Structure 1
Amino acid sequence: MPFYDSLAQITDTHYMHKARKRFGQNFLRDPGVIQRIVAAVAVKENDNLVEIGPGQGAITGLLLERTKTLNVVELDRDLIPILLAQFANHKGFAIHQADALKFDFSQFFEPERPLRIVGNLPYNISTPLIFHLLALGNQVKDMHFMLQKEVVERMAAAPGGKNYGRLSIMTQYHCQVLQLFNVPPECFTPQPKVDSAIVRLVPRVEIKYQANDVAILDQLVTAAFGQRRKTLRNALKQWCSAEELEQQGINPTARAETIDLEAFVRLANYCQQR
């Protein structure tokens, strides 16, 4: 149920809100960037749309012009009156005051209407929130997020570079990752100290390299990257021997950042089946 459902519950429609550091709030202000994000999402009238962290509604209004249904999840109670003052008259609009990290997004899923998720995600929770949403699997059609540029680069990274790691492997296992465009700090109030980027994540209909147990894959990858400078022989000694690594076509003296997704899945399946 929505946290509020009527304008009668708003005490001050002119409430002024100051961005809160503890919530990681940076409000998007640039009209051109806002239009560009909405164009990238390409909302359709019957989409089952969810917005995480609508803030003061910079993107929300344009989304509502294009779709019949929009559920928004906002942690900050003080932003609820601001959002309702603007959007409560839209029949398909509902606000859910909740922590997105703990929120059950599957409640919005309909078999014929998979979720389309949009959000300007707080930098301080972006990685755990991405993993929370990846668990939804095929309940999601796609996701478009504003994230710290560095996080997007890590998600999209290929083997062999410093950005490649657990986030790269687990995101790419579940989704196709496309970095759309960058957003500079001056587009926000207050200005963040880092650049941002828009990313599109499209869950894979068929997973090319299927893990027998995704949790084991995640644990293995976490161990491999736990100390990046270690060789796999040392980083994974609790999982398998150097000989077993070689049997799976993996050089025991290699470091985790050189190993591709297919090899990690192959090794995880071997460890799971022993």
Structure 2
Amino acid sequence: MAHRPRRRFGQNFLHDPGVLRRMVAAINPTPGDAFLEIGPGQGALTLPLLERAGALTAIELDRDLIEHLRTAAADRGALTLHAGDALGYPVAELAPADGRRLRIVGNLPYNLSTPLLFHLTASPLLVTDLHLLLQREVVTRMAAGPGGRDYGRLSVMLQYRCRVIPLFDIGPGAFRPPPRVTSTFVRLVPHSEPPVVVPDEAALGRVVAAAFAARRKTLRNSLGALLPAERIAAAGIDPGTRAERLSLEDFAALARALPGAATS
């Protein structure tokens, strides 16, 4: 009996051969690549990657798919399967012991995309790139620059960790069952060094979260519990502006202005 996609797992299985070929071409797998796939589902992307790389590790939440995946991959390469929630597997525990960096791929469930994005990019030095299929509006937010309504906490914090490169859109008809939204395939490339100087990422995160918690308020009001207006101004930022107008470097300047923060 064919596996029925489960709504509670956010399952929408890719089935369009043309789309899959385009995704594999964008990923450009080579022998020896250390792939980690999140949510392989029925293996539509898993199998061509496995054939080209020779080995692949995958995390699948739906235990009913595990045996199907093992059988389908039996003559394609070395498939290592973990049954469970990807949020429960630190990336550092899945990185190869031989020092190769991971290449992460996945069709992320829309209802868990934001926590998974932060989880998968938490160890940038262990990851070469990520190729992810997400709801288009999420990718729009990830890639957004200052000045628009799509720009927010997700934009700033992901761009602190990675370059965000939207690749192409995929319509609902490429999936079974078809979702009600358009998806986007996106490439994330972790920075080898942080693009801005901050005391630590936690400090940047505190400033960004507070600034966007009430995005219609000016920084004078939204950051009042962290930074007085005069300290904001001393960092070179107008206390009367709103969070959506600030660049990543502006947020870094505010993080450096936090009481007790290092300034270099």
Q: TM class by shorter-chain length? A: over 0.9
Of all paired residues, the percent bearing the same amino acid is: 50
The match for 1:191 is 178
Q: Secondary structure at 1:101's aligned position in 2?
A: helix
Q: Secondary structure at 1:159's aligned position in 2?
A: coil
CA shift, 1:272, in A, is 5.0
Aligned partners of 1:213 and 1:269 also within 8 Å: no
Aligned partners of 2:153 and 2:208 also within 8 Å: yes
Matched, 1:227 2:214: yes
Q: Secondary structure at 2:111's aligned position in 1?
A: coil
Under a length normalisation based on structure 1, what TM-score does the superposition of the two structures give?
0.92
Aligned partners of 1:118 and 1:143 also within 8 Å: yes
Deviations 1:7-55 (A, max 9, x none): xxxxxxxx42111111111011111110101110011101011110001
CA shift, 1:244, in A, is 1.1
Number of equivalences:
260
Distance of 2:67 and 2:164 partners within structure 1: 35
The match for 2:190 is 203
Gaps in structure 2 of 5+ consecutive residues: none
Specify the code of the residue in structure 2 equivalent to 1:71. Answer: T
Distance of 1:51 and 1:222 partners within structure 2: 30
Distance of 2:52 and 2:148 partners within structure 1: 40
Aligned partners of 1:212 and 1:272 also within 8 Å: no
CA shift, 1:90, in A, is 4.1
Q: Which moved more, 1:208-217 or 1:45-54?
A: 208-217
CA shift, 1:273, in A, is 2.7
Deviations 1:91-123 (A, max 9, x none): 421110010111122223235310000000000
Under a length normalisation based on structure 2, what TM-score does the superposition of the two structures give?
0.95
Counterpart of 1:158 (choices 136, 142, 145) is: 145
Gaps in structure 1 of 5+ consecutive residues: 1-14
Aligned partners of 2:70 and 2:79 also within 8 Å: no
Deviations 1:206-234 (A, max 9, x none): 22202211012112101110111111111
Q: Which moved more, 1:79-88 or 1:257-266?
A: 79-88
Specify the code of the residue in structure 2 equivalent to 1:253. Answer: G
Specify the code of the residue in structure 1 equivalent to 2:159. Answer: Q
Specify the code of the residue in structure 1 equivalent to 2:72. Answer: Q
Q: Secondary structure at 1:141's aligned position in 2?
A: strand
